[in-house]
Structure 1
Amino acid sequence: MAIEILRIDATDDRSVDAWWDAYATAERADRGADAVVWSLEESRSELQQESAVVDRRAYLLRHADRIVGSASLALPLKDNTQVAHLAISVPPEHRRRGIGSEALAFLEAEVTASGRTIAQGATSWRHALGSEGAGSPGREFARARGYSLALGDVQSRLDLPVDPALLDRIERDIASAIAPYEIRSWVGRIPDEVVERWTILDAALETEAPTGELAIEPQRPDVDSIRESEELLDRQRRVSFGAIALAADGEAAAYSQLVVSTDDGNAYQWGTLVRTADRGHRLGIAVKAANLRMLQREAPQTRAVYTYNAESNAHMLAVNTALGFRPSERMGELQKRLR
């Protein structure tokens, strides 16, 4: 089945609306009607951003004047420039007609033309399907086309509000362990006086957190990239909550970030990392608890927190369990070497 693959203009509202509708329809069909997806306006803002960090491209898949799917490509511009991230969304009524295969061949050709050698993507499935996602449409599509499961993640959900007594108890339990450290937290933009130290940990997250078989190189700390991300959050009407633990030498020992979507009313856990030299001092749960306190005080309408962790990351999964998170879904990070 021959399809047209049209790169969209992110300022064309009708095209972006159609692109997002195919994405959201496909995701909810595979993961359930209550699956968390980026909102239309959040997606529009990202596509419209002029970025120095990533080259974003979005495509509509069309057959006989009908939209039959959407696709996207993201090319990192500063770090890991051997990698391209791709995604394809085909609603159920248009599947098994070769549309996804044709779109994938097109994207892989674009990846190769851009000088990249590795294609990466992700797909989610219901938790009950297990670590391999057997039977999940996205996983089976990728498997048949040479994409390996490079890292398996668990999505966990924390219903809010958290009982303040639980946070009180956790803070009492960890008080002596974290006594040598200063915990600072804030809402919104990362304060100038700590942003460089924050950036060091944020850059290290890609390789210090479990990465499985993913081909990921260390990132360079870059304040400009952090500020660009914050600008996008503002455009999306998202709100960031940050916490950092400072060691006696003033360096950042741990950090954690929550981002609230005002469109769907949920919070999403972004990075959390404890510096190798400071592990064993309960700092991971300390910065997470500080963020939850602040979130419940400043945004009490937030319904839930979602987080993703590598299934192999037993320590962070245990921290999440102690805070009340429960497994809700799985995600596979996929990879294929193109040459």
Structure 2
Amino acid sequence: MADAPSLSIHLNDPADDDAFHAWHGVFAAASSHDRGPDAPVWPEPELSAELRTQRSSSTTEIYLVHGAAEADSAIGAITLTMPLSDNLHRVDLGLYVEPGSRRRGVGSAMLEFVRSRTRELDRRVIASEVFRPYRDEKAGEGSADAEITVPGIAFAEHHGFTSAIGDLRSECQLPLDPALVRTIADEARPFHEGYVFHSWSGDVPEAFVEQWALMEGLIETDAPTGDRDVEPEVTSAEDIREQEAIFVRQGRTSFAAIAVDSTGEIAAYTQLVHSSVEAMVYQWGTLVRDQHRGHRLGAAVKAAAAHQFLQAGLDARAIITYNAEENEHMLAINQRFGFRPVERIEEVELNLDASG
């Protein structure tokens, strides 16, 4: 067995732009190599604002990895994100190895560092994601999926990670057809009499921000969770305002819609986020509360947010969304808008108490 490589792993100073630039270089090279040229890879300005901003509800550590000779280019990059208000047993891991430095034990040595750091933080679950090409089983391509060797999945399995839930990345090519959006809204309307809809662009109105925060916290566990070792999030209005401030620095614009019941409670919500840097739109959370399902509120709020986006006239190539493969109802709504799956994501977890 080959000896573990000698690595130099340094915590980035949040104020060090050069260090983050080097980190992003490894992240981008690894992500494009693993997922292909069409996969969304966050540009440096956007990811910098996301990862280097101190938040109330979480903290992120960014590490840059060199070989024994630190003067050489970086060969690895790590992010560890730790929730501070809930899920105190978890660490969310991003681990990236520069493609030319693989199959030398670099990733394994980096993961050993992550294990040690997770123990230091008194946490027990390391959560991450691995990606595989999408194969349409209904089109007779299901067997091909099993034949593909996916390095990230093989690495995770080798080191004791288990699959927690499978997701699909789907894309809807733009521009949206306004007539289709109106049709979807019209089809849903007879089913949700008694609900009032609100939609907007930009920040969440003050009148709704507390309830919006509640919805943001619930989506982590009210949506399908598979076998993830996760608890409901504690999200506050302060968290929402912090995220909105990050949007400003990223050049992003939010388009949102809610359905409110007769008591004034938010029954359903959704959010689209436009990136001016990427010319891309991301479909963020959509949730219908359990007691309000069956009224086609999911389709209705999605149509309302889509209408807000269309009114803005912003340029974008596609809308990207992620859904659990088992969430057939939401996948069906998305397909109605024109979304098609393009990638599979495996959410994996390593329980250090179980693995030793």
Range of TM-score over shorter length: over 0.9
- Output one character per residue of 1:7-49: Cα deviation in whole Å (capped at 9) or x when no partner: 1112212111110010111111111112101110111112321
TM-score by length of structure 1 reads 0.97
Distance in 1 of aligned mates of 2:91 and 2:146: 23
Distance in 2 of aligned mates of 1:56 and 1:173: 44
Matched, 1:145 2:149: no
Distance in 2 of aligned mates of 1:269 and 1:328: 15
What code does the residue aligned with 1:197 have?
Q
Q: Quote the offset at 1:132 in angstroms.
A: 7.3
Equivalent residue in structure 2 for 1:230, among 217, 235, 244: 244
Name the residue aligned to 1:88: 95
| Unaligned 5+ runs, structure 2 | 136-140
Name the residue aligned to 1:15: 19
Matches within 5 A, 1:102-181: 102-128=109-135, 135-181=149-195
- Output one character per residue of 1:94-137: Cα deviation in whole Å (capped at 9) or x when no partner: 10011100101001111111010111011222213967795112
Matches within 5 A, 1:1-339: 1-63=5-67, 64=69, 65-66=71-72, 67-128=74-135, 135-339=149-353
**How many matched pairs?**
339
- Output one character per residue of 1:185-238: Cα deviation in whole Å (capped at 9) or x when no partner: 111110000111212221110111000010111223411111111121122121
| Unaligned 5+ runs, structure 1 | none
Distance in 2 of aligned mates of 1:321 and 1:261: 22
Contact 1:45–1:235 (Cα < 8 Å) also in 2? yes
Q: Quote the offset at 1:324 in angstroms.
A: 0.7
Q: Secondary structure at the match of 1:38?
A: coil
Q: Quote the offset at 1:138 in angstroms.
A: 1.2
Distance in 2 of aligned mates of 1:259 and 1:168: 20
Q: What fraction of aligned residue pairs are identical, expressed as a percent?
A: 39
Distance in 1 of aligned mates of 2:166 and 2:177: 30
Contact 1:185–1:291 (Cα < 8 Å) also in 2? yes
Distance in 2 of aligned mates of 1:245 and 1:207: 20
Contact 2:52–2:60 (Cα < 8 Å) also in 1? no
- Output one character per residue of 1:69-94: Cα deviation in whole Å (capped at 9) or x when no partner: 11111111111011011111112211
Distance in 1 of aligned mates of 2:313 and 2:158: 44
Distance in 1 of aligned mates of 2:266 and 2:41: 32
Distance in 2 of aligned mates of 1:266 and 1:149: 29
CA 1:132–1:243 in 2, change beyond 3 Å: closer, same or farther? farther
What code does the residue aligned with 1:75 have?
M
Q: Secondary structure at the match of 2:319?
A: strand
Report the more deviating stretch, 157-166 or 204-213. 157-166
Question: Cα RMSD (Å) of the superposition?
Answer: 1.5
**Which 4+ runs in 1 deviate beyond 4 A?**
129-134
Q: Quote the offset at 1:170 in angstroms.
A: 1.3
What code does the residue aligned with 2:46 have?
E
Contact 1:125–1:133 (Cα < 8 Å) also in 2? no
Contact 1:134–1:140 (Cα < 8 Å) also in 2? no
Contact 1:133–1:139 (Cα < 8 Å) also in 2? no
What code does the residue aligned with 2:33 have?
A
Name the residue aligned to 2:138: none
Q: Secondary structure at the match of 1:290?
A: helix
Q: Secondary structure at the match of 2:301?
A: helix
Contact 2:178–2:310 (Cα < 8 Å) also in 1? no
Q: Quote the offset at 1:168 in angstroms.
A: 2.0
Distance in 1 of aligned mates of 2:41 and 2:343: 13
Distance in 1 of aligned mates of 2:153 and 2:114: 18
Q: Secondary structure at the match of 1:193?
A: coil
Q: Quote the offset at 1:178 in angstroms.
A: 2.1
